């Protein structure tokens, strides 16, 4: 990731054809920046005409050193539950990529991904965070929290770079936020769900068992990872773009000591930053929502410009309909790898799965992909219903789509 989060939105068009939606976006930013904006700013384009706005709370009582990259206080957005959900808590970990060296982290600390000075004072709560039963049938009346992401290492680093005035305190932010929320009533929870999107989805996996241990055994605790299944895979040149990125994050931000011991006791720290080496060993029930053709991974891991100097993948990277047969074969092999990764994980009855054959990234916070009249479905089941059925033990949920192009319910992302 050479450059992060400089967004200038210049156009947005949604084109519907039959039951399939292709969403065309045109940003004057790098291709990776496009995906970053989709992950975390897309809900502003939701069809919800009256979204809930929730204010930012800074964690002023944070324990020593729990700060963003630039030293400012971390924060979260909390909307209180009511009725039957008054003692139920949903914690959503924000995502937004990573920074792996001085240059990318210094750039990041001047954005909302590295400083609370630049964070929105209010955020829209849509999708899994919505307060409306017709938009979020199972979690609408829970206490719902969006923990802001301002460390650049999936809430896992603990170090600093004094020369560059950088603080790598993701692990301390996580602990400070949890302590603050417990003081605000979460310690009385009878139900809890830790979730996250993208880099936050990875964090939900990394922190899942620790989250379970915060509560007594009588509390129902599960975890949800949306678009967090980043694969340790080769790029189109045969290189290891994402492994190089993750190695930089783990080393530069001193992540090693905060990774799950069930992994680091037999694998190197960088391998333990990849979910595929964690999910089958976790004790806490986990649900994975992921697009089989994850657009972030296509653009920044599988076919980044650095691995495609000739530009052969340029059109395919932006629009799947322009992929050649050989390129589509490569992407089908990526899907096959994803399915192999989750095979053992899915054999456990306590775990859940929703792998749809869409070109998408992050589907739980967007209202149109979480729960709407034309939401993506697998076997007529939308993401919201699948997650709810799994969490409340109404059904065992192991939904895997047929390969592209069979699914006509997708909201595929296409870039100009």
The chain-wide mean pLDDT, for the chain, equals 90
Top pLDDT among 32 and 147 is at 147
Question: Catalytic amino acids?
Answer: 198, 294, 361
Instruction: State the pTM of this model.
Output: 0.91
Chain centroid to Cα 36, Å, comes to: 10
Pairwise CA distance, residues 305 & 316, whole Å = 12
Give the pairing of strands 377-378 and 220-226: unpaired
Surface-to-core class of residue 151, CB atoms within 10 Å of its CB (0-12 exposed, 13-18 middle, 19+ buried): buried
Judge whether residue 243 has pLDDT over 80: yes
Judge whether residue 15 has pLDDT over 60: no
Judge whether residue 361 has pLDDT over 50: yes
Judge whether residue 341 has pLDDT over 80: yes
Which helix (H) or strand (E) covers residue 76, if one does? strand 75-79
Q: Does domain 50-400 have CATH number 3.30.2390?
A: no
Domain boundaries, given as residue ranges, for the chain:
50-400
Across 154-232, the runs of DSSP E, i.e. the strands, are: 159-161, 166-168, 191-197, 220-226
**What is the pLDDT, as a whole number, of residue 5?**
36
**What is the pLDDT, as a whole number, of residue 56?**
98
**What is the pLDDT, as a whole number, of residue 403?**
98
Q: For residues 114 and 68, is the Cβ–Cβ distance under 8 A?
A: yes
**What is the pLDDT, as a whole number, of residue 64?**
73
Judge whether residue 27 has pLDDT over 90: no
């Amino acid at each position: 990731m050479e450059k992060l989060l400089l967004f200038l939105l210049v156009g947005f068009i949604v084109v519907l054809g039959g039951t399939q939606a292709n969403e065309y976006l045109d940003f004057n930013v790098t291709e990776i920046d496009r995906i970053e904006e989709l992950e975390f700013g897309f809900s502003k384009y939701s069809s919800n005409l009256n979204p809930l706005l929730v204010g930012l709370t800074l964690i002023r009582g944070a324990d020593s050193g729990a700060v963003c990259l630039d030293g400012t206080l971390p924060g979260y957005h909390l909307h209180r539950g009511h009725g039957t959900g008054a003692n139920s808590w949903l914690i959503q970990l924000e995502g937004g990529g990573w920074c792996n060296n001085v240059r990318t982290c210094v750039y990041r600390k001047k954005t909302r991904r590295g400083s609370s000075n630049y964070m929105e004072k209010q955020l829209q709560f849509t999708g899994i965070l919505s307060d409306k039963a017709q938009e979020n049938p199972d979690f609408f009346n829970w206490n719902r929290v969006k923990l802001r992401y301002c460390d650049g290492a999936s809430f896992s680093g603990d170090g600093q770079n004094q020369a560059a005035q950088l603080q790598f305190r993701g692990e301390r932010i996580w602990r400070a936020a949890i302590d603050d929320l417990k003081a605000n009533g979460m310690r009385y929870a009878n139900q809890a769900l830790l979730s996250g999107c993208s880099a936050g989805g990875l964090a939900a996996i990394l922190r899942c068992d620790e989250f379970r241990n915060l509560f007594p055994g009588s509390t129902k605790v599960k975890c949800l990872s949306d678009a967090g299944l980043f694969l340790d895979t080769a790029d189109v040149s045969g290189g290891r773009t994402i492994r190089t990125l993750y190695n930089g994050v783990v080393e530069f931000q001193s992540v090693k000591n905060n990774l799950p011991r069930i992994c680091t006791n037999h694998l190197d720290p960088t391998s333990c930053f990849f979910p595929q080496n964690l999910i089958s060993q976790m004790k806490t029930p986990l649900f994975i929502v992921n697009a089989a053709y994850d657009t972030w991974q296509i653009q920044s891991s599988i076919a980044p410009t650095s691995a495609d100097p000739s530009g052969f993948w340029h059109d395919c990277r932006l629009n799947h309909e322009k992929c050649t047969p050989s390129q589509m074969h490569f992407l089908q092999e990526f899907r096959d790898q994803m399915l192999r990764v989750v095979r053992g994980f899915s054999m456990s009855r306590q775990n859940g799965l929703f792998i749809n054959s869409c070109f998408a990234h992050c589907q739980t916070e967007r209202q149109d992909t979480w729960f709407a009249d034309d939401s993506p479905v697998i076997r007529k089941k939308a993401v919201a219903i699948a997650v709810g059925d799994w969490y409340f033990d109404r059904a065992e949920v192991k939904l895997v789509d047929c390969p592209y192009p069979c699914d006509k319910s997708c909201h595929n992302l296409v870039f100009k």
